Structure 1
Amino acid sequence: MNTIKKGLAVGLKTTWILGKIIFPITLLVTLLQYTPVLPWIVNLIEPFMGVLGLSGDAAIPLVLGNVLNLYAAIGAILTMELTVKEVFILAIMTSFAHNLIIESTVAAKVGVKLWVVVAVRIFLAVASGIIINLVWHGGNEIAQYGFVSNTANEQVSGFGPILLQGLEKASLGILQLAMIVIPLMIMIQFLKDFKWIDRFSNWMAPFLKLLGMKENTSTTLAAGVVFGLAYGAGVMIQAAKEDGVSKKDLYLVLLFLVSCHAVIEDTLLFAPLGIPIWPLLLIRLIVAILLTMIVSFVWKRVELNGRKEATYEN
């Protein structure tokens, strides 16, 4: 019973910390949908779409995915006639960079600079789009969409209904957050109290060592990969306090997660859009591993050079 109480307390506290970020931003982004801001962004990037192998119209789902979420992007894709290649490029780009405002702000709460999170995600999205466009010469047939639950935003008019929609979405966002974070924290507390976390960490140790991270990052990494960046950040905040996760490891975990988070849900969302989903999953996983390994290697070299310089000065 003490374990449940402790986990519940941590879950509620984490929900409160993240909720203070998610609620106002969700409300703001919802209101922005009814302003000229999003169309202005679409018009701004439309001329550059050719470099990514996309038609000008594809700027709409790309922006919606970046600012809102994958559901909004998919909802927009369903209204367009796009090739398999275009849909795949949109899928991989929005997988790397979706819900940027909320997820990146929440991730920054961990202690990683906001601009780093945003810059990495946008870079991965743009780079992946350009590379796939250059490398893949197939996929020119029109994508055949299967049954998809279109959860794109319902359009309303009038300030009152718009505000109500924003408040509703923000509240649902907090509810969804609580429904995942609180049970997750209780489960993690059980794992800690029964020493299963140690076993899991030992099992993950070889993989984490490959990425340049310590064993105490295993829970955070697993939570982010399965549940998503925002929820992984919730676990990360707690882990930084309780498990003594270093600043370096926090950065490495977050770099991995910005590339590869919520892989099950995010990947399956695109399954009905007539594109190959296994390459989508593998690209995200491989990019996450390589990016984390490279940054870890560079970080070690910088630390080593710093120690050498300090030794010479002494």
Structure 2
Amino acid sequence: MKRVDWRKGLTSGWRTTWELGKIIFPVTLAISLLQHTPVIDWLVRILTPAMSWMGLPGEAAIPLVLGNLLNLYAAIGAILTLDLTVKQVFIVAVMLSFSHNLFVESAVCRRVGVSAGLVMGVRMALAVLSAFMIHWLWQGGEAAAQYGLVAPREAQPEGWMEIAGIALQTAATGILQLAIIIFPLMMGIQMMKDWRWLDRFAEWMVPLMRPLGMEARGSIIIAGGLLFGLTMGAGVIIEQAKEKGFTKRDMTIMVLFLGACHAVVEDTLIFVPLGIDVLPLLLIRIIVAILMTLCIAWFWPSAEQGHMSNRAPQEGSV
């Protein structure tokens, strides 16, 4: 068995942590500060009229704003302070599963050549469309939601010095947590590379990639995104994008697929404390991601497919 290049894994871990840290630290710091300004309330007031179309009260805009600007943990903390029905909690959870942490995750997408605006727009559209459909198709879930396992934090900071300190602590903690995950992750990936496990896994993924119109070589990107997410799996996504040299079409389709369905384990289990059934939540994400990818691949054929379709009439006419 080939020897593992641990130095290369450490270098990759440091490089990935540094690249993501440059994105996550300022974004987290800025949003943490904005939470204590009128900006968040202003955004909530703008969104409140649209909430009724999705069967949600105006205050449900708070976790949606926090989740999209910051992360799912901030959103769930806000949900725990609201009096919502089971159906309303499920709608908010589905919306957040499609659309969360937009600035950081979209910045990762931009690093691999995909428009951040496109990714953000698609994810927000999926969130709104799914909420609208659930609201009008699901007749039930009117019982009051029963939260468990996690209790919201009630203490509020006093004064801008304390607010700034908490914001810096939150941003620094985010980088530390990222490093704790990224380094062993990149070491594990390096081990899988040197032992050629990723190559074998890519072969297993090929039959699943082609029907979705995705390049078979991108199976490692899809696997990394599904398991670790766009942020934690950024090291895999960025490195594979550089090494394999995908076309803009292939990279865009893979990133949009992962935008709709990534970190399926973490982003599903994180909603368990809200007391909802998370299996339908997971199935909705997977089904929507597959259908969206099939539509994009149909309307945006690969160069090879386009060449074959253009040649077909010529080959038939003798």
Q: One-letter code of the match for 1:241? A: K
In the alignment, which of 78, 81, 84 is matched to residue 83 of structure 2?
Answer: 81
| 2:112 is equivalent to residue 118 of structure 1 | no
Which residue pairs with 2:216 in the alignment?
Answer: 215
Counterpart mapping for 1:1-314 below 5 A? 3-150=5-152, 155-300=156-301, 304=306, 308=310
In 2, Cα distance between the equivalents of 1:99 and 1:189?
27
Q: 1:174 deviation in Å?
A: 1.4
**Contact 2:8–2:190 (8 Å) recurs in 1:** yes
Using structure 1 for the length normalisation, give the TM-score: 0.92
**How many residues in Structure 1 have an aligned counterpart in Structure 2?**
309
In 1, Cα distance between the equivalents of 2:132 and 2:302?
30
In 2, Cα distance between the equivalents of 1:174 and 1:154?
24
* Deviating more after overlay: 300-309 vs 180-189: 300-309
In 2, Cα distance between the equivalents of 1:56 and 1:42?
8
Q: 1:300 deviation in Å?
A: 0.3
Residues 32-85 of structure 1: CA deviation (Å, up to 9, x unaligned): 111111100000010111101111221222212222222222112211211111
Q: 1:274 deviation in Å?
A: 2.3
Q: 1:157 deviation in Å?
A: 2.5
Q: 1:15 deviation in Å?
A: 1.4
In 2, Cα distance between the equivalents of 1:176 and 1:296?
36
Name the SS of the counterpart of 2:208 in structure 1: helix
In 1, Cα distance between the equivalents of 2:14 and 2:145?
44
In 2, Cα distance between the equivalents of 1:44 and 1:277?
30
Residues 7-28 of structure 1: CA deviation (Å, up to 9, x unaligned): 1111211211111111111111
**Contact 1:110–1:233 (8 Å) recurs in 2:** no
Q: 1:181 deviation in Å?
A: 2.0
Residues 172-213 of structure 1: CA deviation (Å, up to 9, x unaligned): 111222222222222222222122221100001100112222
Q: 1:301 deviation in Å?
A: 6.9
* Deviating more after overlay: 297-306 vs 278-287: 297-306
Structural RMSD (CA): 2.2
* Deviating more after overlay: 107-116 vs 173-182: 173-182
* Deviating more after overlay: 176-185 vs 107-116: 176-185
Q: 1:265 deviation in Å?
A: 1.4
**Contact 2:86–2:145 (8 Å) recurs in 1:** yes
Residues 106-163 of structure 1: CA deviation (Å, up to 9, x unaligned): 222221111001101100100000010011011111111122254x696312222222
In 2, Cα distance between the equivalents of 1:34 and 1:307?
57
Q: One-letter code of the match for 1:80? A: L
**Contact 2:98–2:123 (8 Å) recurs in 1:** yes
Which sections of structure 2, spanning at least 5 residues, go unmatched?
A: none
* Deviating more after overlay: 181-190 vs 88-97: 181-190
TM superposition outliers: structure 1 runs of 4+ over 6 Å:
none
Percent identity, please.
Answer: 52
